[in-house]
Amino acid sequence: GENVEQHPSTLSVQEGDSAVIKCTYSDSASNYFPWYKQELGKRPQLIIDIRSNVGEKKDQRIAVTLNKTAKHFSLHITETQPEDSAVYFCASFGGTYKYIFGTGTRLKVLA
Amino acid sequence: DGGITQSPKYLFRKEGQNVTLSCEQNLNHDAMYWYRQDPGQGLRLIYYSQIVNDFQKGDIAEGYSVSREKKESFPLTVTSAQKNPTAFYLCASSSGGKKGSPLHFGNGTRLTVT
């Protein structure tokens, strides 16, 4: 079946440094790739998304890149701040109308 | 997101009892989803529905049932057949269709079965 692999599972960075989280998807029919941020005990919130016909998208300190050939997509957070600390999930949406999530990355930004 | 309401926030049940989790949305979304989240783990799909009166099993449907009689409602029943029901349950919705669109989540229901 379809699956999404996400790495790393935990990531610690110093405040002000960059963080990169990578995902790989299996369904070649996938056409939409959202990223969610989840704080402890709360619901996931969409932070950025990208469609399959786009290679890169930026929103202030956050960017997502997509390599369709390799079936890879990545989240880049620059100038990290303590409030960026959370669990981040990637997901893919494709031909089966399902959103398949990665297993999450716990990001810790050290002040 | 005020558009999706899950109730209750916390639910306690005895083993062997069925329990129904409520999910209502006023976003006029066609598609609705149920996910289960266990501590330190990702989101696993239980059931999803693209349209009223139709739904499909996700990756972990065993021990669960759903209905989609109204566009705005997608209740999930956790039956006594579910071996490890204690978890955080998240309902979500999207506008649906072949092209993906943002998934909006409710605040979740934390179910504890003892």
Q: What is the DSSP string of A40-78?
A: TTS--EEEEEEETT-SEEEETTEEEEEETTTTEEEEEE-
**For B26-54, what is each residue's pLDDT tens digit?**
999 999 999 999 987 789 999 999 999 99
Q: What is the pLDDT of residue A6?
A: 97
Q: Which residues in chain B are contacts of A44 at CB distance < 8 A?
A: 43, 90, 105
Q: Which residues in chain A are contacts of B98 at CB distance < 8 A?
A: 31, 97
pLDDT greater than 60 at residue A60: yes
What are the residues facing B21 on neighbouring strands?
B76
Nearest in space to A47 (alpha carbons), one of B6, B26, B105: B105
Q: Which residues in chain B are contacts of A23 at CB distance < 8 A?
A: none
Give the Å distances, CA to CA, from B67 to A39, A100, B72, B89.
30, 22, 11, 16
pLDDT greater than 50 at residue B1: no
Residue A86's pLDDT band (boundaries 50, 70, 90)? very high
Q: How many CB pairs under 8 A join A and B?
A: 60
**For A95-104, what is each residue's pLDDT tens digit?**
788 999 999 9
Q: Is A97 on the interface with B (CB under 8 A)?
A: yes
**For B92-103, what is each residue's pLDDT tens digit?**
999 988 888 999
Residue with tokens 């890169």: A56
- The answer to whether the CB atoms of A46 and B102 lie below 8 A apart is yes
**Mean pLDDT confidence for A47-69:** 95
Q: Chain A closest CA to B41's CA: distance in Å?
A: 6
pLDDT greater than 60 at residue B2: no
Task: Share the mean pLDDT of chain A.
Answer: 95
pLDDT greater than 90 at residue A94: no
